[in-house]
Amino acid sequence: MEIEELTATPGKPVLTGRRRDFLIGGILALGGAAAGALAYRELVPPEKRRAREFVHHGNSIIEKHYQQSTATVAALKAKYETAVFGKARVWDLIEKLALCVDETDSSLYCASQLIHVQQVLEGIERDGIQDHDLLIAALIHDVGKVLLLTDELPENILGATARISEAPHGAGLDQVVFQFGHGEMVYSRFKDHVPEHLAWLLRYHGTDMADLEPFLSEKDRQYRDRYLIPFHKYDVNTKSYNHLPKVQLAKYRDLIENTFPQPILF
Ligand SMILES: [Fe+2]
Ligand SMILES: [Fe+2]
């Protein structure tokens, strides 16, 4: 018998030593957690804290993106057989990227997708490259992210494009089911308006080619080497959350107007 049980008032609940320790432990743990949270808020600079929160939130979107099944993908493809915005000028779609932030991309944080596009263009310019296909890809590859301006869930728009099925070796990427996202969206809108290799680049710009190696057809391999690898270099490596790119947008508006003189169904 423990001392507390001897000294307890008759009729009142008895607080045994073990229960009391448990209670005190609980209070201390709660206090510790609260103090820890307080210390975290006090000691971690606000900028760092916001960065961590941004990444945490982005990861939760990516987690949901990875839960897509072949049925989800089929449903989303069917959903987007219908136009979302109706007829749209391609340049207007590109400008809408100024309103879009990729919450899963901590290389860019809150920098808009139009800033990202300009950073890619600036990188291409810096290397003196004037490849029409590469410039058009830089301008439109992420236009599928304008879905962020609708009520679509971010996990159905953002994140990389991973495969969720296999195919016989060498069968070709069009035999593999991929997660639905902005790559598939932009492909579906532009495939009838651009050459096949460019449509291919738009569709697979966010894929991990190392994982896809066994499934590539000879054509996929050629497109990867000729278009995706050079494009990736600029798409991935020019990202910065604090670099304001200096490019002449008017020049690129002309390029887009000349390439897509008519509005497209988006
Ligand atoms: Fe992308
Ligand atoms: Fe991009």
Per-residue pLDDT of 151-208, as tens digits, reads: 999 999 999 999 999 999 999 999 999 999 999 999 999 999 999 999 999 999 999 9
For ligand 1, the distance from its centroid to the CA atom of residue 78, given in whole angstroms, is 21
Q: What is the pLDDT of residue 42?
A: 73
For ligand 1, the distance from its centroid to the CA atom of residue 22, given in whole angstroms, is 52
Burial class (CB in 10 A: 0-12, 13-18, 19+), 10: exposed
Q: Looking at the CA of 231, which ligand is closest?
A: 2
Q: What is the pLDDT of residue 24?
A: 63
Q: Could you read off the pLDDT of 5-49 as tens digits, one per residue?
A: 333 344 444 445 565 566 666 666 676 666 666 766 678 999 999
Q: Could you read off the pLDDT of 216-260 as tens digits, one per residue?
A: 999 999 999 999 999 999 999 999 999 999 999 999 999 999 999
What is the pTM assigned to this prediction? 0.85
Tokens linked to 43: 């000691």
| Residues with a beta carbon under 5 angstroms from ion ligand 2 | 142, 235
For ligand 1, the distance from its centroid to the CA atom of residue 205, given in whole angstroms, is 6
Is the per-residue pLDDT at 4 higher than 70? no
Is the per-residue pLDDT at 104 higher than 70? yes
Q: Looking at the CA of 113, which ligand is closest?
A: 2
CATH of domain 70-265: 1.10.3210
Alpha-carbon separation of residue 104 from 55, 108, 121, 243 (angstroms): 7, 9, 22, 19
For ligand 1, the distance from its centroid to the CA atom of residue 175, given in whole angstroms, is 21
For ligand 2, the distance from its centroid to the CA atom of residue 223, given in whole angstroms, is 18
Q: What are phi and psi of 178, to 5 degrees?
A: -110, 160
Tokens linked to 102: 């990729």
For ligand 2, the distance from its centroid to the CA atom of residue 79, given in whole angstroms, is 24
Cβ–Cβ < 8 Å for 124, 234: yes
For ligand 1, the distance from its centroid to the CA atom of residue 141, given in whole angstroms, is 6
- Tell me which residue has tokens 């760092």: 48
Q: Looking at the CA of 111, which ligand is closest?
A: 2
Q: What is the pLDDT of residue 21?
A: 65
Cβ–Cβ < 8 Å for 136, 152: no
Helix (H, G, I), strand (E, B) or coil at 264: strand
Helices (H), the chain: 3-7, 17-43, 46-65, 70-79, 90-96, 113-126, 132-140, 182-190, 196-204, 209-212, 218-223, 229-237, 249-259
Alpha-carbon separation of residue 96 from 91, 99, 113, 160, 257 (angstroms): 9, 6, 9, 21, 16
For ligand 1, the distance from its centroid to the CA atom of residue 167, given in whole angstroms, is 24
Q: What is the pLDDT of residue 20?
A: 59
- Tell me which residue has tokens 């008895």: 14
Helix (H, G, I), strand (E, B) or coil at 239: coil
